[in-house]
Amino acid sequence: MSILFVSDLHLHEGAPAVVQAFYDFLKQRARGATALYILGDFFDAWIGDDDDAPLGHEVAAQLRQLADTGVAVYLMPGNRDFVLGHDFAQRAGATMLPDPTIIDLNGQTTVLLHGDSLCTLDKPYMALRAQLRSPEWQAQALAQPLAVRRAMAQQLRAKSKTMNSSKPEDIMDVTPEAVVDLLRQSNASLMIHGHTHRPQRHAHTVDNSPAERIVLGDWHDNAWCLVADEQSLTLEHWPINTAG
């Protein structure tokens, strides 16, 4: 039995191949797993659990089918779907997780997070993140009509693209000191996150003890999944069929 971790699928109507790749993943690779963890940016944008667009309802139904087979499904919001909530999770048969979350992964204390909170050198983004994650801002935003929220989501995506276009690459990656600090605070020797779209395994040292950070990849040209079983941790990827 294995435990699966994915992130940064950025599901949206304009990427049907990625949506289908995820549905295939649920029906094939995820069947028989112990658990599936989705660590943020599951959707490219999320305007609220009351969104009447078809995609969200279809995805929830697909997750529910997996959950009904006995696979535990966990969802963590990211920076694109930060208002993903318990209503959606209930429809999907999933459990919402705070960012960060600490779990026992086959006997190893492991901290899970989306990853954007580690990009501490990106001061403008961290200020925007603090605003968007505040309960007051979210309550005001979710009180707006759906049409207004869709326009807000487009504006936020455009703002993010503009902000990122002029930033050095290293600023948009995680800050090593933030990684070590969170590992220390969590008393963890393993960290799993997404966000940066830079899939890789990194060795760290925390108070003279070894630790590892595994970065999940985004679902664009390839699908990425970390597979954890009792013997190993394997970062797998396979091509997404965009033909047709």
Which pLDDT value is given to residue 9? 98
Which pLDDT value is given to residue 169? 66
Domain boundaries, the chain: 3-239
Q: Alpha helices, DSSP H only, in the chain? A: 16-27, 54-67, 86-92, 123-132, 135-142, 146-165, 176-186
Euclidean distance between CA atoms 198 and 87, whole angstroms: 31
Percent of the chain with pLDDT over 70: 95
187-224 as b/e: b if 16+ CB within 10 A: ebbbbbbbbbbbbeeeebebeeeebbbbbbbbbbeebb
Residue 57 has pLDDT above 60, yes or no: yes
User: Is the torsion defined by CA of 60, 63, 64, 67 positive or negative?
Assistant: negative
CA distances from 181 to 25, 43, 98, 119, 174 (A): 34, 29, 18, 13, 12
Euclidean distance between CA atoms 103 and 105, whole angstroms: 6
CATH class of the domain at 3-239: alpha beta
Which pLDDT value is given to residue 243? 65
Percent of the chain with pLDDT over 90: 88
Which pLDDT value is given to residue 220? 95
pTM: 0.95
122-180 pLDDT, tens digit per residue, is 998 999 999 999 999 999 999 999 999 999 999 888 877 776 666 676 667 999 999 99
171-224 pLDDT, tens digit per residue, is 679 999 999 999 999 999 999 999 999 999 999 999 999 999 999 999 999 999
Q: What mean pLDDT value characterizes the chain?
A: 94
Which pLDDT value is given to residue 170? 67
Which pLDDT value is given to residue 1? 82
Which pLDDT value is given to residue 164? 64
